[in-house]
Amino acid sequence: MPWDRNQMAARAAEELEDGMYVNLGIGIPTLVANYVGDKEITLQSENGMLGMGPFPYEGEEDPDLINAGKQTITELPKTAYFDSAMSFGMIRGGKIAAAILGAMEVAENGDLANWMIPGKLVKGMGGAMDLVAGVGRVVVVMDHTNKHGESKVLKACTLPLTGTGVVDRIITNLGVLDVVEGGLKIVELADGVTEDELRAATEATIVN
């Protein structure tokens, strides 16, 4: 069985080490926060917050306290607030250890596309371009194939890029791959997924 969303998030949480400052993207990456266990992880929200807490209890929502996905959240005793210029100062300045992001396409050279589909979906990159350019390590979490069954793990991206050569590791429903010299290296297979199945769903070059 391929991993479901929560299993992918749990696997991504293993990437995080005690003491890290981390930025989580929207979608499956947001779920990663549920699986960090006893590790002391500080979540950065690029709209201007370090030390993001869980969603509020019903009735305790504060319109002045949201995350980068515009969801209501809460603060923690260690929380700090700052403006957007400082927020991206810490991102661009390499102070954030890792970002876990979703993607539309990833290429074998680490290129990432996750911000627009020309003529169809024109939403914008938000903070993604700054994050992939600035943080220490970029981990992509996404389904291995799109809804038409086509691989999202490609030799070269077809969509407009978010960054070039920026992805370090890809976690999909089928397994874990690292971007290495010459292509992608299989690090791990999801439970019950065979290497042949993963290779069949991957357009990118897989190296040993």
Partner 1 sequence: MKKVYGSAAEALDGLLEDKMLIAAGGFGLCGIPELLIDAIVESGVKDLTIASNNCGVDGFGLGKLLDTKQIKKMMSSYVGENAEFMRQYLSGELELEFNPQGTLAERMRAGGCGIPGFYTKTGVGTQIAEGKEVKQFGGEDYILEEGIFADLSIVKAWKADTTGNCVFRKTARNFNPPAAMCGKICVMEVEEIVEPGELDPDHIHLPGIFVHRIIKGEHEKRIEKVTTRSREEA
Residues that bind partner 1 (CB under 8 A): 45-49, 54-73, 75, 81-85, 87-89, 91-92, 122-130, 133-134, 160-165
| 129 vs 206 by CB, closer to partner 1 | 129
Query: Token pair for residue 168?
Result: 């370090």
Q: How far is the CB of 196 from partner 1 (least distance, A)?
A: 34
> Is the CB of 57 or the CB of 147 nearer to partner 1?
57
Cα–Cα separations (whole angstroms), residue 164 to 2, 107, 123: 28, 9, 20
Query: Is 127:178 a contact under the CB 8 Å cutoff?
Result: no
For 100, which DSSP code?
E
User: In angstroms, what is the minimal distance from the CB of 40 to partner 1?
Assistant: 20
CB of 10 to partner 1, least distance (A): 17
Nearest one of 94, 15, 90, 93 to 45, comparing CA atoms: 90
Alpha-carbon distance of 55 to 71, in angstroms, equals: 8
Report the residue number, 20 or 161, with the smaller CB distance to partner 1.
161
Residue type, 190: A
Q: Which of 14, 17, 40, 46 is catalytic?
A: 46
- 14 catalytic? Reply is no
Catalytically active residues, by annotation: 46
